[in-house]
Structures are given as C-alpha cells and as structure tokens.
Structure 1
Amino acid sequence: MKIHSIEAGNFKLDGGAMFGVVPKSLWQRTNPADSNNMIDMAARCLLVENGDRLTLIDTGMGNKQSEKFFGYYFMDHIYDLDSSLKKAGFSRDDITDVFLTHLHFDHCGGVIEKKKNDFYEPAFANSTFWTNKEHWKWAIEPNAREKASFLTENIKPIEESGQLNFIKQNSSFATQNEMDFDILFVDGHTEKMMIPHITIGDKTFVYMADLLPTAGHIPIPYVMGYDTRPLLTLDEKSKFLNEAATKGYYLILEHDPNNEIITVKHTEKGVRLDKSLTFNDLFN
C-alpha cells in the first residue's frame, strides 16, 4: 500500500481571513503576505493506492470556473490533477473512489468538469464519490456565511451522477484489512468535515484538510475567519494536536505550499512544530 501527493494547483487567499483575529504582525512570520495581503496556498490532494482500490482524497478547485473567478484566487495552474496523477503512474479513469473531506469549492471543484454548452459531468467516470449525509445537507441548504463556498455547479452534478455515497459517522473507511482508514468528524470549520487517519505499518498519517491548513496554524488560537464555529475549532484543534504530539502522528497539510508533512511535539508553550518532512523523505 502506498500514498502519493497529488498537487492540484497553488492559489492565494487573504491572510487576515486565514488567521481570523490573530494580528498580521504574528502570522506573517510563518505565512508572509504579498502587497495585496494574500498568502500562498496549496491544493495538495492525497492518492491512496491499496490493492485494486485507488482512492483520491479531495480534488482541488478543478478548472471549470471562469477566468474572472480564478483571478480572485491568483491560481497559477503550475500543477493540475491530470499531470500529478500521471506523475504517480495513473489517470482519472483509474480512480475507484473520491473521498471528499468537505464540499467547499477548493476541495471538491475537481470532481466535476465542464463540457461544451455548459454541460457538467463527473471528471472521474469510474469512481464512487464519498461524503456524509450531515455535511451534504449542510452544503445543499447553505447558510449565508458559507453560501459562496458551496457552488451549485460542483454539488448538483455529484448528486445527478448516481455515483454519490454516504459514510456513516463512527465508521471506518477501509478498502482492505491491511489499511486502516479511520475518520475523525469535526464541526468547527463546517458541519461534519472528515479527517482521514491512514495507518501504514507503525505510522499514522492524518490528512488535515481545514482543521490545520498550514504549519502556521499550529498555535491553538490561530483559527481561520472562515470557520463557522471558531470556539469549537479551538477545542477540536487542541484535542487533536495534543493527541498527535503524544502518538507521533504524521500530519499531511493540504494547504501549506512549503510544508508537505509535519510532526508536532509538546512544549512549555503548548504543542508546536517538531519536524517538516516531504513525501520523498518518507517514501523514497
């Protein structure tokens, strides 16, 4: 069983929005902003190769939005799903499962592609798409705060495809016995975001989605302005990071362009960064 980093394209977001009430004088030490106050972001998806199952976790923004839309996020298009999958030795048609941590456009946009005459269809024809009922309801009946993140052209075609399946809370998403694919459900960022825990040998890899976007977000108060329940995020982050430091988890960062995988440790100031690693460090 193997895991691969799949880069789906870097972009930028407003640094203030990414760090909420934390002053810029503090967060810019780890996440420097440009002249527009934008910070660099990655869309690092994860490919899990296990027997005859090939699971892609998240898909980035995709490429079907308008040039104006992508202009808001300074998309560089240096990376894309197809070239990254090819580098790993696969294509979209090989993907058997697409696991979506949540349905914000920067995580699920690549699931659906736009054809001629504004016709939308799945980008992964042979895949099952996985979310959960609670988050799905949250996405199709969005609150005013998140409405701009749940795009109809991403979500409605998933339902119409016939490829949508729901994961039950407190269950394992296991493709075969030798891979433990446990899921932590968290509610601070959005309702029932799913955080995969993948055990390979004696190591546990956790794909952090938006519970920990970058290494700069490790301090507990460093919470995104995008979170719907920031006080709950504080509790969820604190509990998880203390567990990660105690158990030695390897944290795969979806949005950090400079740190692919990190470990954390206990210090007098709380949980802090221990090591920054690459996929090459661990798998080559």
Structure 2
Amino acid sequence: MKLHTIDTGYFKLDGGAMFGVVPKTIWQRSNPADENNLCTWAMRLLLIEDGNRLILIDTGIGNKQDDKFFGHYYLHGNDSLDSSLGKLGFHRNDITDVFLTHLHFDHCGGAIVREEQKLVPSFKNATFWSNQEHWSWAIEPNDREKASFLKENILPIQESGQLSFVEHKEGVQFQDNIAVRFVYGHTDAMMLPQIRYKNKTIIYCADLLPSVGHLPVPYVMAYDTRPLETLKEKKVFLQEAVDNNYILFFEHDPVNECCTLTRTEKGVRVDEVFQLSEI
C-alpha cells in the first residue's frame, strides 16, 4: 500500500462559522482572517494505492459551478485534482474507487463534471462509495444543509450506475487495512477512513476535525447539525487517538497535513506536525 496527498487548492469560509461559539480573538491566532472575516482552508484529498485498486478519498469542490457560486468561496492556489494526480503519473480514468466521506459540495463537487451540457461522473471507471443513511439524508436535505447538498453533485452519481454503499456498521472493513468510522455531529453518518499503514493508524478526519485549530473540544463549527454530538464524538475520538498514537490527516488545514497528539493540562493537543510523505 502507498498513500499520496492530493492537493486541489484552497477556498475561503467565514471564520466565525468555522469556529462556532469560540471568539474571533482566540481562533484568529491559529487561522487569521482577511478583511472580510474569511479564513483560508485547504481541500486536501488522499489517494491510496492498494494492489489493483486506486482509491481516492473525497474529490474537492470541482469546477462545474458558475462564477456566481465560486464568487462566494474565493478559490485560489496553483494545485488542482488533475495536476496533483498527474504529478504521480495518474489520470482520473485510473481511479477505481471514490470514497466520499459525505456529500457536502466541498467534498464531492469534483465527482461530477459537465460534458456537452450533461452532468457525468469525473471518474469514468470508478465505483463511488457512500452509505445508505447519509445518501438518504443528502437527497432530501434539511433546510440547514440544503445549500451544501447540491443535487448536481449527487444525483448524477446514482444515475450513472456507479454508486455503491458501504455497509452502515461501525468498524466495517472497506478494504484490507481500511476500516470505516461513522460520526453524526457534523452531518448524518459521515464516514472517516481508518487506515493501517506502515504499522501506524491514520485517520482521515474530514469535518470531524477540519484543522489543528479545531482540536480543543469546544471548537465546533457552526455548520454542524448536532454540535453537542460533535462534542461527544471529539472527546471519545481524541482520547482513543492519543492512547493509540493515531496520526490525524487533515482535509482542510491550510498548513498542516498530519499530526500526532499529546495530553496537556488543557486537554489533548497537537504533538508533532509533518507531511504524509514523512511517515
């Protein structure tokens, strides 16, 4: 097995929305905001080479939306999904599996492209993986999440016949050395891959822990549908992670790819930060 970071660029979101009840005077120390109160966030994916399978975890925001849509998110940076795959000698058509942690647009928008006025999967030879509970939640969205669950990102996957569901069971094996954790605070049944790699355990944190700045338990995004559930999930997960020396892989941290954890007087905090390639 080989793991690769896939950088797809950066976008901006409101700092207050990203840190919930935490005051700006505190969160801006780790994530400084611009004059519009917007902070920069990465869209960092993970590519797994495992035997004859090439598994991509999440797809970034994509490029099929109009200028008005992208005008809200200030996309920037020199990296793209295609350029990052190309640096490794891969093409979209080489991907065998696309594992979608959840169906918010910044995680699945790149799954679909527009070709000749038709919406089709970006990865023509891949199986797209969600789970039945989250899929049902996303295709009939609540008012709070409606702006994040975009039908043009979701329904074409099913229409293509390329959609499959992970069994909705805690710890289910997606592949040898890849188990799935389910969490419910951010959105219903978000999936976190837990990967055994070089005798270490790596957790792809998705939106349970978007960045190093979100490690303190009360630092919960205003986007979360069940913030108190997120608090519980973070407490349990962080204790397990520090006890077992897990490596956390961050999808949205603009600077830090990975970290290990340590216990401090203030709770579980970052120990060492490093690149995935350093493992």
User: TM-score of the superposition, structure 2-length normalised?
Assistant: 0.98
Residue identity in the other structure for 1:191: D
Question: SS at the partner of 2:46?
Answer: strand
Distance 1:182 1:266 in 2: 26
Q: Return the letter of the residue paired with 1:247.
A: N
Query: SS of 1:8's equivalent?
Result: strand
Distance 1:265 1:100 in 2: 29
Q: What residue in structure 2 maps to residue 70 of structure 1?
A: 70
**2:211 aligned residue:** 214
Q: Structure 1 CA distance, aligned partners of 2:42 and 2:77? A: 11
Q: Which amino acid aligns with 2:15?
A: G
1:267, CA displacement in angstroms?
Answer: 1.3
Residue 90 of structure 1 is matched in structure 2 by: 90
State the partner residue of 1:134. Answer: 133
Retained in 1: the 8 A contact 2:45–2:56? yes
CA distance in 2, matches of 1:51, 1:281: 22
1:100 is the counterpart of 2:100: yes
How far off its partner does 1:160 sit? 0.2
* 1:225 and 2:226 are equivalent in the alignment: no
Count of residue correspondences? 277
Q: Within 5 A, what are the aligned runs for 1:159-178?
A: 159-170=158-169, 171-174=172-175
Residue number in structure 2 paired with 1:204: 201
1:157-192 per-position Cα deviation (integer Å, ceiling 9, x unaligned): 011010000011222101xxxx41111100000000
Q: Secondary structure at the match of 2:5?
A: strand
Distance in 2, matches of 1:83 and 1:139, equals 30
What are the Cα deviations for residues 242-267 of structure 1, in whole angstroms up to 9, with x where unaligned? 11111111100000010000111111
**Deviation per CA, 1:31-58, whole angstroms, max 9, x where unpaired?**
1101110001000010000110000000
Q: Is contact 2:12–2:39 with CA below 8 Å preserved after alignment? A: yes
- In the aligned structure 2, how far is the partner of 1:52 from the partner of 1:253? 26
Q: For residue 3 of structure 2, give the secondary structure of its aligned residue in structure 1.
A: strand
Contact 2:4 2:277 (C-alpha < 8 Å) held by counterparts = no
Aligned to 2:15: 15
Deviation at 1:233, TM superposition (A): 0.0
What TM-score do you get using the length of structure 1 for normalisation?
0.96
Per-residue CA deviations over 1:107-152 (Å, capped at 9, x if unaligned) read: 00000001223x1001000000000000000000100000000001
- 8 Å Cα contact 2:133-2:168 kept in structure 1: no
Partner in structure 2 of residue 25 of structure 1: 25
RMSD over aligned CA atoms reads 0.8
Mapped to 1, the partners of 2:111 and 2:264 lie a distance apart of 40
1:206 and 1:152 map into 2 onto residues whose CA distance is: 28
Shift of 1:68: 1.5
Gapped regions of structure 1 (runs ≥ 5): none
Q: Structure 2: 5+ residue runs without aligned partners? A: none
Amino acid at match of 1:125: K
Match of 2:257 in 1: 260
Taking the aligned partners of 2:134 and 2:77, their CA distance within structure 1 comes to 29
Cα displacement string for residues 187-238 of structure 1 (whole angstroms, at most 9, x for unaligned residues): 0000000000000131011100000001000000000000000000000011
Aligned-partner Cα distance in 2 for 1:2–1:261 = 16
* Residue 77 (structure 1) shift: 4.8
Give the % identical residues: 60
Q: 5 Å matches for 1:138-149?
A: 138-149=137-148
